[in-house]
Amino acid sequence: MWAALAEAAGARPAGVVRHDRLAAAALPLRLPKPLLAPLAVERRYLDNYLSIAKARHDLGYQPLFTTKQAMEQCTPYYVDLFHRMKSESAEPILHAAVPAPPKG
């Protein structure tokens, strides 16, 4: 339909503007920027509950650790990693980002 309209107006088919751009050009509204992006809104209302029940039922999966055991083993690593990253970030940012000038 848009190609026929463009041809009737004298435009070449290669120069057809997509209908959403044509509509946007016809109605220049100054709407405020939304507070949240559509994906952010979707993330707010979705329930991200995860379960291994299907893997247990269909595949006979048995986890090696309970959630509590896994957290007890992993948490010290991430706490240590946090402290190491925090101590390394005490250096000036320019020192880390800019190479030292040549001596001489």
pLDDT tens digit string along 52-84?
899 999 999 999 999 899 999 999 999 999 999
φ/ψ bin of 10: left (φ > 0), alpha (ψ from -120 to 50), beta (otherwise): left
Give the tens place of pLDDT for each residue, 5-21: 556 655 554 444 455 55
CA 9/CA 17 separation, integer angstroms = 12
What are the sequence ranges of the domains in the chain? Answer: 1-30, 51-90
Position 36 confidence tier, pLDDT thresholds 50, 70, 90:
confident
Q: What is the pLDDT of residue 71?
A: 95
CA 85/CA 87 separation, integer angstroms = 5
Which residue type, as a one-letter code, is found at position 86?
Answer: K
CA 96/CA 57 separation, integer angstroms = 51
